[in-house]
Each structure stands twice: as C-alpha cells, then as structure tokens.
Amino acid sequence: MNLRRQIAVTVAVVSFLVALTLGLLVHQASVRQHTEQARRSAEAALESLLAAYSGTGVVVGQTAAVEEATAGAPAATGLPEELRRLALQGHEGSMFGPGPHGTAMWAAAGSGGKVFSVRVDYREDERAVAELDRTILLSATLAVAVTVLAGVFTADRISSRLRTAARTARTIARGDLAARIGPLGGPRDEVADLAAAVDSMSAVLRGRLAGEQRFTADVAHELRTPLTGLLTAAELLPPGRPTELVRDRVRFLCGLTEDLLEVSRLDARAEPADLSVLPLGPLLTGITSAGPPVRLRTDGDGLVTTDPRRLDRIVSNLLANAHRHGLPPVDVRVEGTTVSIRDHGPGYPDDVLRDGPQRFRTGARERGNGHGLGLTIAQGHAEAIGVELLLDNHPDGGAVAELRLPAGAHPGVEPPAGEQGEWVTGEQPTRVPPTAQR
C-alpha cells in the first residue's frame, strides 16, 4: 500500500471512529434527557393525582387510575407488575412499561390501601430520538466523506511531490547530476526540506565528480608527452631482455594514459555519437576478425542503429577482457539485435555483478592483472549510443556480456541474406558448416 492509500485509509478510519463516538454520546445524552423529562412529568402527574384524590376523592385525568391494593391480583390498568409490587409496599416509583399506544412512563404509589398510578405516553419522545439518530447518521456520513476527500486530496499532493522527488533522485542515480527537484510548488515543509537536501547533495556530487574528471584528464594529458618521449627513447635502446621489459612497461603506461583520456572524454560527453543503420551480423564479423580467434554464431541478425566505431570499441574491449581474464573458447552469438560474448573462465566476481564495472578494479585475483578500465570504457560507449550492457555468469561457468542494441529501420534497406551457422574468426574468418557444429 502506497503512502497516499495509507493516509486515506487512516483518515477514513479515524473519521469513522470519531463520528461513531460522537454519535453514540449524543444519542445517549438525548435518550437520557427525554427519559428524565418523561419521568419528571409522570411523577408530577402522580403528585397531582394524590393531592386531588385526598381532597376530593375523585380521579382526575385519563391516564390516571386508582385500584384496590390486593396482593396477587393482576393490575387492571396495565401497570407493570414490578412497579405495582413496589406501590403495594407503600413506596413510590416510576419506570418504563407497555402502554396502549406503545412505550409509556409509569409512576405509581400506594396509600390508604389503594394503588395510584399515572401513565405518560413516550411515543413522541421515541420519534424525536429516532429523528435525532437519523440526523446524526446523515451528518456523520457527510462529515466522514468530506474528511476522507480532504485527506485523499492532501495525501495526493504529498504523494505527488514525493513521486516527483523520487523520479528526480532516480535520474540523478542514472548519472544525470544536473537534474534538480526544485521547490515542488508546495509549502515549506518536510517534503520541501527533503527536496532541498537532495538538490544540495546532487550539486555537491556534481562538483566533486567534475573535479575528479578534470584531475583525471589533466594527469593523463600531462603524462602523455613524457611517455611518448620515453617510448621513443626506449626504441633506441640496444636489443636485449631488459630493453624488452622497458618497452613493454612503457607501452603499458601509454595504453593506460590513452584509456584515461578516453574515460575523460566519455565523462565529459565531448564526442557525439555518429549513428547509422547497419546489419549487425556482418558488422560483428568484421570486428571479431581483427583480434584473437573467437567462435561467432549468427542466429538471424537484424538492422541496428549504432555508431560502428563505438560498437567496435565496446566489442573489442569485451573480447580483450574475455581473453585476458577468462579461458578459451570465447563465444560470440548474434540473435536479432542482441550480441552475447561468453568465455569459459571463472566468471565475473560478485562485486562486478552487484555494482557494475569500477575503475582500477579488476575484481577477483584469479581474473588476472589489469587496470580495470576496459569494462568501464565499454559501458561508457554503450551508454553513449543507447546500448544496454548486461553482465552475468553462465550457469555452466564463464562470464557472459550481453549487448542489446536498438533496432534500426531504414526504408529500402534489408539485411543481407546468409546462412546461419558458427564461425571461427581470427586473422582470416573460417566458417564451420552446420553439420560440423558442436
């Protein structure tokens, strides 16, 4: 149950309980008032009857009666038996009882061997109480309805503002640190304070991230020139094992510097994507043929909207990661607009699957050495061209990277026809017939 429903249900329940409590209190007060009034009227009529009978011996009033005080004989006037026994004992009292036209208030007293009784009709009082109950019920229903509507309206405003804040927070979490919640168009309350805190946090994070990006770009830029000179100087060293080690380390540093510069450009979104509609199968065949051998299988390729240069970089980084950290064979499979790359190594570590690629983190020790920028660069290019990159481990072992490319549609362009099958690619692609597949 969301917050809006919780507030609406709470307001409805509280309103109902308050209306029920007030209705019961008013009903009891009204009944008590009418009862006391009828009792006083009956007692006053009884006193008048006793006074008149003692002076004149005549019973005055249609609801007044006098009968002989005979124990065990039924009351001829309809007087309740309990009240009649009380009067026979010489006491005076009153109580409700049945009358000829409904409920009545009876008052009785015993004197001189006689029972004096008076009846006051209670029908009008009952009708007044019933009318009051209907009025209370109607008023309570209207009050609960209005209160619930007001609660729903208030809850909807609060919920709407919170949903706006949540949407903006999710946008910030996806990497758009320029997103802001704003004032939300409401009063300065706790929701507004929350929005201001999230906006402030986003601004601080954006500033810190921009500082880190500038620092990375500056460091990579400053390292580029001396490393280029160092690489040139290493080429002039005499042949030998130490020279090879120096050249290898210098090349590694140069590659790291170029990767840092590429990460900085991706962070800054400095290069727009050059999108075009292309058939995915031939595009993957050309990319995979330029590196170490892989097994390429196409199960029906389709047209995709992509940047060929960036897609080449993504797939090349994923293949390099599979060859460096996994075990052969490396399988590449094309299904429609989806590309999956699988190795047969130990798979991705749990922190990579949980948190995604992290800079300068290669995951588990058994995945080998490296500076951990390959997956980061692949993810950055994938986001730039609208490709969804998913990392997982295969149930039978090995890391699986899946690329879901946006479908492309271009009038008059059809993907080239070709047979489905498995390809082993390397410097020269070689096709394995379907009958020879494993």
Residue 24 binned pLDDT confidence (cut-offs 50, 70, 90)? very high
User: What pLDDT does residue 25 have?
Assistant: 93
Question: Which of 369, 371, 344 has the alpha carbon at shortest distance from 357?
Answer: 371
SS3 359: coil
DSSP structure string for 102-148: EEEEEEEEEETTEEEEEEEE-HHHHHHHHHHHHHHHHHHHHHHHHHH
Longest alpha-carbon distance in the chain: 153
Residue 74 binned pLDDT confidence (cut-offs 50, 70, 90)? low
Which tens digit of pLDDT belongs to each residue from 161-201? 888 888 888 888 877 778 888 777 666 777 888 888 888 88
Rg of the chain in Å (alpha carbons): 47
DSSP structure string for 47-107: HHHHHHHHHHS---STTEEEEE--TTSPPTT---HHHHHHHHTT-EEEEEEEETTEEEEEE
Least confident of 41-45, 271-275, 344-348, 393-397: 271-275
Residue 203 binned pLDDT confidence (cut-offs 50, 70, 90)? confident
Q: What percent of the chain stands above pLDDT 70?
A: 84
User: Does residue 218 have a pLDDT over 90?
Assistant: no
Phi and psi, residue 270, nearest 5°? -80, -25
User: What pLDDT does residue 214 have?
Assistant: 76
Tokens of 199: 């906006």
Contacts of 357 (CB under 8 A, 6+ apart): 372, 375, 376, 378, 379, 391
Average pLDDT taken over every residue of the chain: 79
Average pLDDT over residues 127-154: 89
SS3 314: helix
Measured distance CA(119)–CA(61) in Å, rounded: 10
Tokens of 272: 């727009």
Residue 425 binned pLDDT confidence (cut-offs 50, 70, 90)? very low
Least confident of 101-105, 116-120, 185-189: 185-189
Q: Where are any strands of DSSP class E within 329-404?
A: 331-336, 338-342, 388-393, 399-404
Which tens digit of pLDDT belongs to each residue from 309-368? 888 888 888 898 888 888 888 899 888 888 999 998 888 888 778 777 766 655 545 444
Measured distance CA(103)–CA(35) in Å, rounded: 11
Average pLDDT over residues 381-394: 87
Least confident of 58-67, 72-81, 183-192, 303-312: 72-81
Which pTM does this prediction carry? 0.49
User: Does residue 9 have a pLDDT over 80?
Assistant: yes
User: What pLDDT does residue 72 have?
Assistant: 54
